Structure 1
Amino acid sequence: MAKQARAIHTRRLILEAAGEVFDEYGYESATIAEILGRAGVTKGALYFHFASKEELARGVLSEALTTEGVMPQESRLQEWVDVGMVLAHRLPREPLLSAAIRLSADRKARDLFGTSWPAWIAFIAGQLAAAKEQGELLPHVDADRIATLFVSAWTGVEVLSTALDGGDSLEERVALLYDTMLPGVAVPGALRALDTAPDRGTRVWEAHQAQREQERRQETASAAS
């Protein structure tokens, strides 16, 4: 078990280092040597987990579809908001997530291993379809088309936010994106109940982290008893 835990930890170190390098340099300019230096592991350890730079990039992309931190809500529309807002909170702080977007936007990289966008679109479409079943969406709304539009817009907001110095934060811009899109898809009653404040992602993430810490303490206490 200890050996397996070390292997999982090493793989994570490599992925996080690769995320940093891909995020800073892009796929084509990123080197295995730079990733090794950031990860602090041997070449053998890296190639044990990933056979090539392309496989490393695929590993980074596989980390992109994450809903960690999003807590269940009675409103499926609120969960949709929380997914985008928590990601907006985490992405500037986690190069691994940021790198996945950069790799998806890199045309040469896309030709090699695709993007994370189809999986995101499918996930958001599922959330919107569930919201429609609960009566939260207007009758004319097509969940698949709105999901595609939202992922396109969210990605564009993130790319522009990264490219521009100063101004609003990513969280503020994503909050504005929701405030602009929601009146066109949500029924008035559901719309009024939604929390789309710029700090929504921060609050949800912190609540999730507090819950995880409490669970860890309970597990430690149970193991000690």
Structure 2
Amino acid sequence: MARQERGVRTRRNILETMAGLINEVGYEAATISMLVERTGLTRGALYFHFSSKEEMARGVLAEALTSEGVREQEFKLQEWVDIGMLLAYRLPREPLMSAAIRLSIDAKARNVLGTRWPDWVDLGRDLLTEAKRRGELLPHADPWSVAKLAVGSWTGVQLVTEALPESAELVEEISALYQLLLPNVATAGVLARLDTSPRRAEQLARSIPGAASETVHVPAT
């Protein structure tokens, strides 16, 4: 059991180190030699856990697709909002998540690794489909179309927020996005009871074991 726990910690350390390199220098410039130097592991130890740099990067990508911290709510629309708000709160604070987003928007990395955007759209579509079944969505709101639009808009807001130093914190900008989007898809009775506040995202994040609560500066690539 102790050996298994060490293996889990080592694997996590490799992923976190890989994420740090991606945030600092980008996927293409990150090398196994850099990982060896920063982790203190041998190449053999690295390759015991991951067969290649590409597999490590895919492990980082997998971290972004999560509903961790989201609890069952009265409205499925609230759960859908909570997922996006939580990601916005955690991304600037957790290098693994920020690196996963960088991999998704890096055209060269995307050609090699693929992207999790289709998975995000599918996750949103499933929640929105259930929301529509429960009468939470307006008749014209198509779950797949709304999910796709939301993922694209979320990503765009994240990129612009990072590029413009005068922007508010990402979670505040994403809160504003939902406040603009939801009146066009949610029924009036449900809309009035949805919480899109950044404070809610922070409270949900604090329930996640090991989740960071302080802002971590992520250098631009």
Q: Which structure carries more relative contact order (alpha carbon 8 Å, separation 6+)?
A: 2
- TM-score, scaled to structure 2: 0.91
Distance 1:85 1:37 in 2: 35
Deviation for aligned residue 1:209: 4.7
Q: How many residues align?
A: 210
**CA deviation string 1:4-47 (max 9, x = no partner):** 11111100110011111112211111122222333332222111
Q: Is the 8 A contact 1:70 1:208 kept in 2?
A: no
Distance 2:48 2:124 in 1: 34
- TM-score, scaled to structure 1: 0.89
Query: Given residue 63 of structure 2, which amino acid in structure 1 is its aligned partner?
Result: E
Point out the structure with max Rg over C-alpha: 1
Instruction: Quote the RMSD (CA, aligned, Å).
Output: 1.4
Query: Given residue 171 of structure 2, which amino acid in structure 1 is its aligned partner?
Result: E
Distance 2:107 2:198 in 1: 31
* 2:106 aligned with 1:106: yes
Deviation for aligned residue 1:189: 0.3
- After superposition, the Cα gap between the structure-2 partners of 1:162 and 1:38, relative to the gap in structure 1 and judged at 3 Å, is farther
Distance 1:207 1:53 in 2: 32
Q: Is the 8 A contact 1:91 1:98 kept in 2?
A: yes
Distance 2:13 2:85 in 1: 26
Q: Is the 8 A contact 1:121 1:148 kept in 2?
A: yes
* 2:47 aligned with 1:59: no
1:74-113 → structure 2 map (5 Å cutoff): 74-113=74-113
Distance 1:55 1:136 in 2: 40
* 2:135 aligned with 1:135: yes
Write 1 or 2 for the structure with the bigger share of helix: 1
* 2:178 aligned with 1:178: yes
- Counterpart of 1:21 in structure 2 is 21
- After superposition, the Cα gap between the structure-2 partners of 1:38 and 1:163, relative to the gap in structure 1 and judged at 3 Å, is farther
Query: Given residue 173 of structure 1, which amino acid in structure 2 is its aligned partner?
Result: E
Distance 2:33 2:71 in 1: 39
1:112-131 → structure 2 map (5 Å cutoff): 112-131=112-131
Structure 2 gap ranges (5+): 211-221
- Counterpart of 1:223 in structure 2 is none
Structure 1 gap ranges (5+): 211-225
Query: Given residue 110 of structure 2, which amino acid in structure 1 is its aligned partner?
Result: R
Distance 2:32 2:143 in 1: 41
Deviation for aligned residue 1:200: 1.8
- Fraction of identical pairs, as percent: 53
